[in-house]
């Protein structure tokens, strides 16, 4: 392209550039050259850059936003879920078993069955049992993850494959659920160390399976207007798949990945993390933070709490690491210039993360670390102001913030009324000056949830499930406004990914853009999920375009 001309021109846009815009501006236009926005203004100004090869798109008054970003999800885990046994529908054990029977019948030659998607509320407090699976698939291992990815349901063949018996001790950080009468494993495994005893014996997905599922994910992400994601678990096979897609020129969004950190390891571990971060990068992908999982989830009673679970006296959850090891590791990571990305659900885990970051601040001084705590479902009131004071970003999943059967059947009895209704206090965090980066945690969270940012935006405002106008809102005084939500799905994730030239629409910024078929600022919040993406542009490249546009 001649340097005097633009590659892409968008006209007739209802333009919202960033949180500085209280409302969008009509009849705006912009020009893109390469992967950059080169001009903003009236159509007459922009059309000066139109050349013989310029692509021009009339948006017809569509709302034009910075490209949506997801600050914490698991695309490669979800990619495999898309091509394996995916359980869906309401919390119903009978339905899950019927779906398993159907999948097993369609895959008679598969030596094992791996899948995900079941919801805790379908089962009693003690969880599902292996006998239920044995009745459907008795002769080959079955491993099914819960919807949150923190517990597994396995059959007897899987337990036998892993060598798990009544004498097998619980692994550190995990629990093998046992029948109280016999001591035999029930087939319910809590947390990754326990699940890994089975999954470690199953064949790992190959690169072709990752690529097949990732292509499905990328196509859907483009239709959702997503231009960048943060892979929260950048395991070696995951980053290898991203790299291969990049080599094939099929990576249609920007990927930042966190890699797992081990607080028990020595200084050589940090050197290894830095070496991988420095080596694995291109214009479309990079390594970001070190991921540190501090606890599990409330549903599995593995989220780490300051006070015991209401229905399990003496149980405070599962600490993944010793607190002293976490503090030392975070201080050393911060000193090495590394960002940290915590998984912390319970209030004790959130406090441990904040304590570790405060120790790093005292030891290393103030720096632009952009450390983040993902989930933070339950935050003790005394810890709320510490987010802003320490410059810690809250990486939250607002599509979870509604009342459902899982809340009534699991969260409420686990936490008790007072704590259960102190979850997801979005407004309190915002009013305390907390910076947000919003995300979906897909494929985890709930069967009805997708990684569509519009779902999270609507739910955070209405405090109801998407499209649910007749259900009571969940803690309605924690609702926030549309600008907060748009900023949290655009500039916020760009900030934590150190993409300072993205997340807003400005001259010189990366051309990451999303156009919607309606003005979110002028419709009822309960209709936001009905909006459809008409155009997605990622780094100047059109990745999704409505056929009528």
**Predicted confidence (pLDDT) per residue in 302-343, tens digit:** 999 999 999 999 999 999 999 999 999 999 999 999 999 999
Confidence (pLDDT) at 1: 46
Report the percent of the chain where pLDDT is more than 90.
Answer: 89
Mean pLDDT across the stretch 508-516?
99
pTM score above 0.85 = yes
**Stronger pLDDT, 365 or 469, i.e. the higher one:** 365
Domains of the chain: 75-199 (3.10.310.70)
pLDDT interval class at 299 (50, 70, 90): confident
pLDDT interval class at 125 (50, 70, 90): confident
Mean pLDDT across the stretch 376-384?
99
Mean pLDDT across the stretch 168-172?
94
Mean pLDDT across the stretch 463-475?
92
d(CA 301, CA 413): 11
Confidence (pLDDT) at 518: 98
Confidence (pLDDT) at 337: 95
Confidence (pLDDT) at 446: 58
Confidence (pLDDT) at 404: 84
Mean pLDDT across the stretch 19-39?
97
pLDDT interval class at 103 (50, 70, 90): very high
Q: Strands of 262-365 (E only): list them.
A: 281-282, 285-293, 340-344
Within 263-346, where are the H helices?
A: 267-279, 323-335
d(CA 506, CA 514): 14
Mean pLDDT across the stretch 481-504?
99
pLDDT digits (tens, 9 = 90+) for 51-93: 999 999 999 999 999 999 999 999 999 998 888 998 988 889 9
Confidence (pLDDT) at 42: 96
**Stronger pLDDT, 218 or 267, i.e. the higher one:** 218
What is the chain's mean pLDDT, rounded?
95
Rg (the chain; Cα; Å)? 24
Mean pLDDT across the stretch 146-173?
93
Confidence (pLDDT) at 113: 96
Which residues make Cβ contacts (< 8 Å) with residue 46, sequence separation at least 6? 6, 9, 11, 29, 30, 31, 39, 40
Mean pLDDT across the stretch 214-229?
98
Confidence (pLDDT) at 126: 86
Mean pLDDT across the stretch 411-416?
95
Confidence (pLDDT) at 300: 83
Which residues make Cβ contacts (< 8 Å) with residue 188, sequence separation at least 6? 126, 127, 128, 129, 151, 152, 153, 177
For residue 17, pLDDT beyond 60: yes
pLDDT interval class at 409 (50, 70, 90): confident
Confidence (pLDDT) at 121: 84
pLDDT interval class at 449 (50, 70, 90): low
Number of neighbours of residue 193 by Cβ within 10 angstroms? 17
The closest of 438, 439, 442, 485 to 461, measured between CA atoms, is: 485
Mean pLDDT across the stretch 163-176?
94
d(CA 151, CA 377): 18
Within 200-293, where are the H helices?
A: 207-223, 236-247, 267-279
């Amino acid at each position: 392209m001649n340097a005097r001309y633009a590659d892409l021109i968008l006209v007739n846009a209802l333009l919202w550039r960033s949180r500085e815009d209280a409302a969008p501006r009509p009849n705006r236009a912009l020009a893109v050259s390469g992967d950059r926005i080169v001009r903003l203004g009236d159509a007459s100004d922009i059309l000066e850059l139109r050349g013989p090869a310029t692509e021009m798109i009339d948006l017809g008054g569509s709302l034009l936003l910075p490209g949506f970003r997801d600050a914490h999800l698991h695309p490669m885990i979800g990619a495999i879920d898309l091509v394996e046994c995916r359980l869906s529908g309401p919390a119903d054990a009978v339905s899950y078993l019927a779906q398993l029977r159907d999948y097993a019948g369609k895959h008679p030659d598969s030596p094992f069955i791996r899948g995900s998607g079941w919801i805790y509320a379908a089962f009693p407090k003690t969880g599902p049992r292996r006998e239920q699976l044995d009745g459907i698939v008795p002769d080959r291992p079955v491993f099914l993850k819960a919807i949150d990815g923190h517990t597994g349901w396995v059959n007897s063949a899987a337990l036998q494959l892993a060598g798990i018996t009544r004498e097998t001790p619980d692994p550190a950080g995990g629990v093998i659920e046992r029948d109280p009468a016999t001591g035999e494993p029930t087939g319910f495994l809590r947390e990754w160390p326990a699940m890994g005893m089975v999954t470690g014996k199953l064949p790992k997905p190959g690169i072709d399976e990752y690529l097949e599922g990732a292509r499905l994910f990328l196509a859907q992400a483009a239709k959702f207007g997503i231009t960048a994601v943060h892979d929260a678990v950048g395991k070696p096979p995951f980053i290898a798949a991203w790299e291969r897609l990049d080599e094939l020129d099929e990576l249609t969004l920007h990927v930042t990945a966190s890699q797992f950190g081990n607080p028990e390891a020595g200084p050589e571990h940090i050197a290894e993390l830095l070496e991988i971060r420095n080596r694995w990068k291109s214009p479309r992908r990079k390594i970001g933070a070190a991921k540190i999982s501090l606890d599990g989830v409330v549903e599995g009673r593995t989220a780490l709490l300051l006070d015991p679970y209401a229905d399990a006296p003496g149980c405070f959850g599962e600490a993944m690491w010793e607190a002293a090891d976490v503090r030392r590791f975070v201080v050393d990571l911060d000193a090495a210039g590394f960002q940290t990305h915590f998984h912390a659900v319970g209030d004790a885990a959130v406090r441990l993360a904040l304590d570790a970051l405060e120790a790093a601040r005292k030891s290393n001084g103030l720096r632009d670390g952009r450390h983040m705590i993902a989930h933070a479902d339950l935050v003790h009131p005394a810890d709320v102001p510490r987010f802003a004071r320490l410059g810690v970003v809250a990486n939250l999943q607002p599509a979870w913030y509604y009342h459902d059967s899982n809340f009534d059947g699991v969260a409420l009895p686990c936490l008790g009324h007072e704590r259960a209704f102190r979850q997801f206090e979005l407004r309190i965090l915002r009013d305390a000056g907390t910076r947000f980066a919003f995300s979906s945690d897909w494929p985890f969270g709930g069967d009805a949830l997708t990684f569509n940012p519009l779902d999270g935006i609507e739910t955070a405002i209405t405090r109801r499930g998407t499209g649910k106008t007749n259900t009571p809102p969940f803690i309605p005084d924690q609702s926030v406004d549309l600008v907060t939500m748009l900023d949290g799905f655009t500039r916020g994730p760009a900030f934590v990914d150190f993409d300072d030239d993205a997340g807003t629409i400005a001259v010189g910024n990366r051309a990451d853009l999303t156009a919607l078929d309606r003005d979110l600022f002028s419709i009822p919040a309960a209709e936001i999920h009905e909006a459809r993406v008409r155009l997605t542009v990622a780094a100047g490249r059109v990745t999704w375009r409505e056929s009528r546009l």
